[in-house]
Chain A
Amino acid sequence: MSSPGGISVDTAIARARANLETMREQALQVIEASISALEAIREPTGPGDMSEGREQAYRAATSLIDAAGPFELLDLCRAAAGLCDLIGALDPEQPFDWRIVTVHARSLRLLQTLPAEATRERAHILDSLSEVVKRKLAQPG
């Protein structure tokens, strides 16, 4: 790292950002696919499908974070991370409230649609989601 030559830290970061920027369109497609995958998840009917459904939701949320993170789409990351926190913390043997997935999918869609300057609306959505996650984690089981 300290060998002669090289580039400044500033240049390295600027170049990395420029490289990442060329992938923004692809990232937005991945985000769209992840939100669509969450929207498509329905409450499973059989017990075997329960954990698979939860895993699908978890995977969709993490792939959204993967894609949104480098572009600092932090509202989307925060909303998706809340869903992951909830799925990761709940006992897989216990019944799962599937409305949580629907609420997160709708909120993510809304966050994705709202203009960046709608900061109050964005904050309100995120606060509501935080409240849902907090309440669900507080429930026994």
Chain B
Amino acid sequence: MQYEAVVIGVSAGGLRALSEILNGLPENYPLPLIVIQHRSKEERTLLEEVLQAKCAISIKQADEKETIKGGTVYFAPPDYHLLVERDHSFSLTCDEPVNFSRPSIDLLFETASEVYKDKLVGVILTGANSDGAAGIQAIQQRGGLTIAQDPETSHFPDMPRAAIDTGSVQHILTAPAIKYFLLDLAKKTV
């Protein structure tokens, strides 16, 4: 198996980009997708519900100690950092925000890349900050695959641009192209 997990970091403008990508994935998509979407801490589960209504693949908020499985999209709960443990389970923390963000994309990407190493795919989508740039570097340095949404077609270009500026992004794609890329990846994976 070539890849074992996909991590996605997304901020402002995320709902649209995420629906464009996730609604094309089948229920039995073999890889787990782990998503950090920056959002208000008051909003508890609305995003998951809105996306689930449009998508075949199952979407849920990650629980602490939950074992990571394929065919599932996991979202970080608002106001917690989401980390990947060596036994392929999640942990949550209330540590200080990183890049003014909790959850932080960098933190998920860094811990996931330590566990999945070269079997990890990292994706940075639309956003108005630079969280995830260090995380993308970490994934690339451990031999993983890195993708950024094309800033030209991103609702907010700053975040994908910051990732691209690190020199660690291998593929720059539109949201629909990212969907097809992930679908192809799965074919190679099975």
Q: Do A and B come from one complex?
A: no
Chain B contacts to A: CB under 8 angstroms: none
**A residues whose Cβ falls under 8 Å from a Cβ of B:** none
